[in-house]
Amino acid sequence: MIMRRLSTSIRKQDWFTVLIEMLIVILGVYLGIQLGNWNEANRNNTRLIGALERLEGEVRTNMDIASDLIAIIEEEQDERVVALEVLQSCTADAAQMDALNVAITSTIRDYAPSFIDNSFSELLGRDELLDLLSSEFRQVMGGYRGQLTEDQDQFNTNFNLMWMDHLIRSPMVGVDFEGEEGSPRLVLATGIEEACADPRFQVQLLTTVSFIMGLRLRAERFVEESEAFLASIQSERGAL
């Protein structure tokens, strides 16, 4: 319609009307482009908020995984302490021997957590979303993801190294098929005096326990770093 009026005005050489109608056309095109950009920006902003919410959920899940690992390790921590004391004193009553056997059995648990990082991949693969994030948050996010990858690698490496010279390889460790609640468990298959006289057994027990405690310390540090990163996510999301 407006193009027809514009053609008519040109034929009549009504230049003022031509100018006005051209401005209307240009303004319409400009407003259309701006509206499209605004709609796309709103969609990206909504996508980014959703991505940050999913990222926060994954961080919380990873924190739960690490916290569960800490809880598992702490369950038999007292027994591991008693086991080391027994090897130092080379004497043990029935309760101490039971604690030693609990400590031995605890060394075969699965101490290798598996973290998730799908939301990191989602964000890092979308430049239009990254551009909406502050430079400070992008730096924090990159640092945390690098730490997450390193921690996952170290958990796996330490767990595998632990099994290379694990206590279970000692000939002094056997299986009690009539353990508590009828469940088989690992036990010291010799007397405590014989175990104390075997430096290999002592090294294997100490090494295995040390690896487990090292995993606990790394998990505790991971939870602390995750809590700080959660605060950064919430702050960034609040600023959008």
| pLDDT tens per residue across span 125-139 | 888 888 888 989 999
- Return the pLDDT at 63: 96
| Buried/exposed code over 34-65 (b: 16+ C-beta within 10 A; e: otherwise) | eeeeeeeeeeeeeebeebbeebbebbeebbeb
pLDDT value of residue 55: 93
> Does residue 60 surpass a pLDDT of 80?
yes
70, 220 Cβ separation under 8 angstroms:
yes
Q: Write out pLDDT tens, residues 150-202.
A: 999 988 888 777 776 677 788 888 888 876 666 788 888 888 888 888 888 88
Does 12 score more than 60 pLDDT? no
Q: What is the pLDDT of residue 40?
A: 54
Q: Among residues 47, 15, 236, which one has the least CA distance to residue 125?
A: 47
| Rounded Cα distance, 233 and 35, in Å | 29
Q: Which of 107, 203, 202, 116 is nearest to 159 (CA)?
A: 107
Residues of the chain above pLDDT 70, percent: 80
The whole-number average pLDDT for the span 20-26 is 61
Which pLDDT does position 10 carry in this prediction?
A: 47
88 pLDDT more than 90? no
When pLDDT is averaged across residues 75-104 and rounded to a whole number, the result is 89
Pairwise CA distance, residues 69 & 8, whole Å? 80
What mean pLDDT, rounded, does the chain reach? Answer: 82
Q: Is residue 201 within 8 Å of 195, Cβ to Cβ?
A: yes
- Residues spanned by the domain of 176: 2-239
Q: How many domains does the chain have?
A: 1
What tokens were used for 136? 């400070």
- pLDDT surpasses 80 at 101: yes
With CA atoms as reference, report the closest residue to 120 among 110, 132, 129, 109.
129
Q: Report pLDDT for 65.
A: 95
